[in-house]
Structure 1
């Protein structure tokens, strides 16, 4: 078979130089796991999305439903928010804005794409059913050691938890913006620790205000030092805040990520009364010169 077309889009920014870049293969028909992993490794982004025909009975409008899988350079991940946004924007440029339905390994994810007043396309995904679980003090202590943090570096108002909305993330809150900005960690050691807890990233956060947070996401299990913008973690964090009563049942949150990497991005997180799933939104743009 001929080589598939590989697109490159950024997510959570309308500027191709911002946000988190993702690979997108809109027709992965005939590719096996090894081929998809090799393509993702060759691209080198934190994730690449691969689309094929939807499973029987998925629903959705004809031509707007797909099976979607996500590969980092090292392994498949169950769900990736930024690659979902990138995929949705790529599809909208070809088949028009509107509703999409993605069958992912984590579950069914609806996505809606619309053009803003400035013409930039913006995608909003609705997460799978989220969850929150406690984490042991020993695990927190090990994570802090691997990060080079101390217990005093944590904000006690946002306690450590493992949050899930398609992938698992350990939430650790920094007491200061300076602590969050100074990220130097044991790459191999943290990867081993994370695999032991089946974590996709660490969601490191600093609360700027009641509804604005700065976040960073180490991703050594994917072969990447840091993810510039992490939609799955944003959804999980939205649930974390609501489940712990740190925000109301209705909330509109802003997460700023990538600034410390020189790739600033903005992730919108929306919580709605009576709904358990979390909406995450952001702009997207094609990266010039991607062929």
Structure 2
């Protein structure tokens, strides 16, 4: 009797972003630079928050966790891609592929939940400023971050287990630079209906649920800001949210385009390009988006530079 929990392939071949030999070195240099900027920028944000006592507030606790999630998120895919650019085999083991899928999904979901938590933080700060310290206590912040981790790993475990049920027969070439859900489902020789169903139900609940929560939080924020009499006061309130809104727009825009569409309409070439946006470019830009528009971060940076 055939056991559907086993696969007939022991490894996959990651075809990468481009197969043209003359593009390999430029691609390697571009992604290496972006990866190093991502790691150094997000690591610096974490160090700056830890070393600056006035940044030990809920907003920056969440931001430091987002920076850590960005580092792990990109590190799940980019190092293997850089290795494969100059590799003659470009392979990844079957278990390694499932592990990469698991951690990629978990850190993507972690960003999703953290962005929702950060929206709640902005809602309390703008709509209930006097009660902010009593609502967002240290204990609640730890509990919220812990819940983000638990939900993220459960979400990743579900989709990785469903991927482990699929059988891959003759074709083990993945038209991508990492083990993503749709490219893997494209080469499976068994039905992917359950996988697609869970992406479009549980996945929608997870992603759209957080996005709806963010939109609702900002609806209350906008309502509160419009009641501020002075134009300067309105601008100050909106400016505290601009960084977060920028990151939300980029992250959910690209994520929705890639995953929440029929598998038959998935374009490998366009999928790779858009995936690069939220797996490499967005984590690299996040430290700059938050630091360039944040007075507290800039002031902490100036104090840190004076101590050197």
Judge same fold: TM > 0.5, yes or no: no
* TM value normalised by structure 1: 0.26
| Greater share of residues in strand | 1
